[in-house]
Amino acid sequence: MILRYKPLKLEQLEILKCRAVVAADEVNELGNLKLGWEGEGELDRMIDERMAGRNCIHLKDYRFSVSQTGNDSRKVSRSTSEVQIDNIFIAGDLVFTFEVKKYNFDLVYSDTVWTFTGGDKFKNLMQQVSRHNDAFRYLLRQSGNGADFEVYSCLVFINPKQTIYNLPYGKNILTYSGIEKFLDRIVRDNHYSHDRLLDFLESRRLTKSMYDGKANIELDALAGGVYCEHCYRELERVNRNKYNCVKCNENFDLLTVTRRLINELKMLNEDWKLDSSIIAKYSGHQISSSYIRRQKQRGNIDY
């Protein structure tokens, strides 16, 4: 089963919320990113449960670059942009894409601009789906063997507590109550091999988002400590070699915690020059420099 990796910006904001003063707009962004991540994981689970043992293809968090001019005859391209599709699903020899939204508020559908229930304007979410559909169909045509595929692009509202008012029939918009029925209907074995198409798509996949960047903070401004990699609650030290997260009810050994500290620092800024003293300080001096140096000498960690 292919895993979905947490977005770098979400990781960065979760780390910084524990270790620095985070602005109110960044706290809001963190909440939105976390909801999006949770929603994508929920749809992954629904799809993967149904395709188990079936001849289907499921690509998660698929990113590719497109030219903003759309004109391949230019000798020098003006610029490129990035398209991110939450899910690409090939089943029954049909291609489906899903754009997942998890909001904690209700919306009113419109052919132009969607609104909040109070009447304030939101945005037209189907425009994003349409742009992504057009870009992905263009990419398929470049593959040479995906030109005959029709792409069915769906907007998915994954929150069971959300209501979308005035939602018309036949707009490829799924609310929570209809997602599982839709998946039950489309999950069918592929009768043809799509290996060439899959190889092409993987060759065009961006392994790193062009929008990922370094956190805007100095190393010395980070507070020390040891936090759970799942919920970011401060860990409690059980003994010399073990930490515990009370919230997750999970234990972590000292080496795992050390590796996590190094990963956090690299996620914040991959250009930082790390040494054992910096990592020890980042741990709040809960892990000694000598232990860190010893584990590096043994090849258990790298920085």
Question: Which pLDDT value is given to residue 70?
Answer: 46
Do residues 115 and 249 both lie within one domain?
no
Stretch 45-60: mean pLDDT, rounded?
Answer: 96
Q: Is residue 211 part of a domain?
A: no
Do residues 200 and 223 both lie within one domain?
no
Residue 121 DSSP code: B
Do residues 154 and 237 both lie within one domain?
no
Q: Is residue 1 part of a domain?
A: no
Stretch 102-106: mean pLDDT, rounded?
Answer: 97
Min mean pLDDT across 72-86, 164-178, 198-212, 252-266 is at 72-86
Per-chain mean pLDDT for the chain: 93
Closest CA to 12 of 29, 295, 127, 145: 29
Do residues 196 and 281 both lie within one domain?
no
**Domain residues for 173?**
8-204
Do residues 152 and 73 both lie within one domain?
yes
- DSSP labels, 126-174: HHHHHHHHHHHHHHHHHHSSSTTPPEEEEEEE--TT--EETPPTTSSEE
Question: Which pLDDT value is given to residue 147?
Answer: 62
Q: Is residue 283 part of a domain?
A: yes
Question: Which pLDDT value is given to residue 294?
Answer: 97
Number of domain units in the chain = 2
Do residues 63 and 180 both lie within one domain?
yes
H/E stretch holding 2: none
Do residues 125 and 195 both lie within one domain?
yes
Do residues 77 and 173 both lie within one domain?
yes
